[in-house]
Structure 1
Amino acid sequence: MTDLDIRPATPDDIPAIVALLADDPLGAQRESPDDLTPYLAAFERLDTDPNQHLVVAVRAGRVIGTLQLTIIPGLSRQGATRSLIEAVRIHADERGSGLGGELIQWAVDTSRRLGCQLVQLTSDKKRTDAHRFYERLGFTASHEGFKLSL
């Protein structure tokens, strides 16, 4: 994918990122592409935090993928730093092209470069295709996740 650029997101990318987040049955229930105000405020918080890496994949000037990588220092595992991959989305026209693997590889390489000893991610239980994708990339379903809405 030589014509692909994976780069930090900018405020101008927010409409395309939100559209990607909303472009599936689960995201359509959670996202509001018609009001970008909360997303722009969130972007400002992310942009000022050195442990947050919101990136976009761009081809021919078009945002076709995104993910967020969070670096988490910790005490467990002998003081290991880990990373968390979230909000991986690929434009519908690009699914199956290898772009998802490229984005995940970027996240793994960046995690390694930043001294992480572990890369983790969560995926909604309904996203069975995504689970197979992550397993093909070497991830294992080693934990059960829990959430509490506030």
Structure 2
Amino acid sequence: MPPVDTPVQQDLHALYRNHHGWLYGWLRRKLDNAADAADLAQDTFVRILGKPQPCEIREPRAFLVTVAGGLVANHWRRQALEQAYLEALAAQPEPVAPSLETRQLILATLEEISRCLDGLPARVREIFLLSQLDGLTYPQIAVRLGLSVNVVQKAMTRAVASCYRAMYA
């Protein structure tokens, strides 16, 4: 023998049966999205079922619009928050820490450069590193170290030649 519905359950079944299609159409026009409209139509009835004290509904469509309207407002607020979060993520700089593979390549390259510069005078190594690692121009290096541009050029020539010999000799 099937269970007998209470009068409240019968009223809720009738509300769903008589107004679900209309509510879905209203939500679809409001949201311009069939999937979201279907979800919010169901959520509207779930919200009504969750009320502790069912009330007498005199104007079912007005009642449904009131409940669904609150859900629509929450939906739009959530979408705005998600969009703001995605924009904030997009505005973040690229991660500062290089990957493990990149770090190993950098360390290997630095070790190779160190080997290339071994045996050179300290001033020549410093000029080379200021140029290649710090990105300073020859005139900037000359000013920083109190040298002439010609001395910086000769030191760079010597450092590059040493690297070339270490790599290709």
Larger helix proportion, structure 1 or 2?
Answer: 2
Name which structure has the greater RCO, CA cutoff 8 Å, separation 6+: 1
Larger strand proportion, structure 1 or 2?
Answer: 1
Give the TM-score, by structure 1 length. Answer: 0.25
Give the TM-score, by structure 2 length. Answer: 0.23
Which has the greater radius of gyration? Answer: 2
